[in-house]
Amino acid sequence: MSVVEVEGLRYEYPGGEAALDDVSFSIEEGERVALLGPNGAGKTTLVLSLLGVLMPAAGTVRVLGETMDEEHAFDLRRHLGLVFQDPNDQLFMPTVRDDVAFGPANYGVSGEELEAAVDRALARVSATHLAKRAPHHLSGGERRRVAIAGVLAMDPAALIMDEPSSGLDPAGMREITDLLLDLPQTLVLVTHHLDLAERLCDRALVLDSGRLVHDGPLVDVLSNGAFLIEHRLA
């Protein structure tokens, strides 16, 4: 099943300049896809379009076969779990447990069902022992794991990870990488770090100036020095 289908997507800034132009691709269940491109290529705009935060000027986004539009964005967004580049943008409740519970509670999950979802998510990222801690007292790696737990509590079909290694030391980066390798969800990795993409993904989508310039094996990107230089990836 396609988790995400994008067809002819165009997004325009006020004034008509295209941030995305005729972007089409699909991501199947279980795939691990790196979303690559230089600064200003349109990666963030594409992610926000997938989530229904931005609505296209043309084209279609479908999540699990349902069209992403203003009427259905709230319901469909829960299937695509975005983990922000900076966990501090995602963690704002008094305790870790409260933070992990926030998402499912916002969708009406309560009582024992909510408690079970939080317990599963914390266990999945080896953070059960952090449940009563204040998020701002955690290390960078711990905050990253808690942010991932908050998304996993929603039981999403896919994780969208925005620069998951940002701010981590080498040990923390290894821990998060190993965690992501062990998760069953479809993964969309937004990153500038080609070594991280190589470890986590086997397919690449490359954006440049709002257009999709590569959709295929990641190894084809990594082995093509001229392509890397042309599209400012190296």
Question: How high is the pLDDT of residue 51?
Answer: 97
Residue 199 confidence (pLDDT): 95
Distances in Å between the Cα of 162 and the Cα atoms of 41, 87, 133, 193, 224 are 15, 10, 24, 11, 24
Q: Whole-angstrom Cα distance, residue 52 to residue 30?
A: 22
Angstrom distance (rounded) from CA 114 to CA 120: 10
- The CATH T-level fold of domain 1-79+159-167+188-234 is Rossmann fold (3.40.50)
pLDDT recorded at residue 8: 98
Q: How far is CA 179 from CA 56, 124, 126, 182, in A?
A: 34, 9, 9, 5
Per-residue pLDDT, 220: 98
* Residue 14, pLDDT score: 85
In this prediction, residue 171 carries a pLDDT of 87
In Å, how far are 7, 57, 63, 86, 234 from 214, measured between CA atoms?
15, 22, 22, 28, 16
Q: How many CA atoms lie within 13 A of 161 on its CB side?
A: 32
Strands 66-67 and 18-28: unpaired
Domain boundaries along the sequence of the chain: 1-79+159-167+188-234
pLDDT in tens, 25-50: 999 999 999 999 999 999 999 999 99
Asked whether 100 and 118 are in contact (CB, 8 A), the reply is yes
**DSSP 8-state secondary structure symbol assigned to residue 42:** S
* Model pLDDT for residues 145-164, shown as the tens digit of each residue: 999 999 999 999 999 999 99
Q: What is the pLDDT along the chain (234 residues), one digit of tens a residue?
A: 799 999 999 999 888 889 999 999 999 999 999 999 999 999 999 999 999 999 999 999 999 999 999 999 999 999 999 999 998 888 999 999 999 999 999 999 999 999 999 999 999 999 999 999 999 899 989 999 999 999 999 999 999 999 998 888 888 889 999 999 999 999 999 999 999 999 999 999 999 999 999 999 999 999 999 999 999 999
Distance CA 96, CA 147 (A): 9
Residues near 23 by beta carbon (within 8 Å), at least 6 away in sequence: 6, 8, 9, 10, 42, 46, 59, 207, 210, 211, 212
